[in-house]
Structure 1
Amino acid sequence: MIRTIAALSLLALAACGADGEPVQPTMNAGISLGTSGVGTHVGLGLRKGPLTLGYRVK
């Protein structure tokens, strides 16, 4: 798993700005309160044209 993450990180770094301006990442975070308690979430994303890449942690 760590090798996959490292390879994707290097690929993203190498592709950043390769054909123009770098893509600025987005981030959102939130806290929710429900009957089962308090919940948090964090989301990271990249969007360029029709391609969207995102990662969300609950």
Structure 2
Amino acid sequence: MESDGLMTLLRATILVATCAVLAGCGADGEPLQPTMNASVGVGSSGTYVAAGVGATRGPISLFVGF
């Protein structure tokens, strides 16, 4: 059970890092400044991990969270 949480955290970390690299490459102009949000909480049903990454350019924002 504990290894499932670790794998989820590992996948989340890899996804966030990949999105940050892609958002920061600036293939079509100046690089975008990515944003990141991560949290760990404890509730009545156990602990949970949440993370997300996003970017904004002009009026368009993209944020992916899990």
Task: Provide TM-score, normalisation by structure 1.
Answer: 0.60
Instruction: Specify every segment of 5 or more residues in structure 2 that has no aligned partner in the other structure, as ranges.
Output: 1-18
Count of residues in correspondence between the two structures: 45
Q: Which has the higher helix share?
A: 2
Match of 1:6 in 2: none
Q: Percent identity?
A: 36
Aligned to 2:56: 47
CA contact (8 A) 1:46 1:52 kept: yes
The structure carrying a bigger strand percent of its residues is 1
What's the RMSD between the two structures over aligned residues?
2.4
Runs of 4 or more consecutive aligned structure 1 residues displaced over 3 Å after TM superposition: none
Matched residue SS, 2:32: coil
Greater radius of gyration (CA): 1
Q: CA deviation at 1:54?
A: 1.0
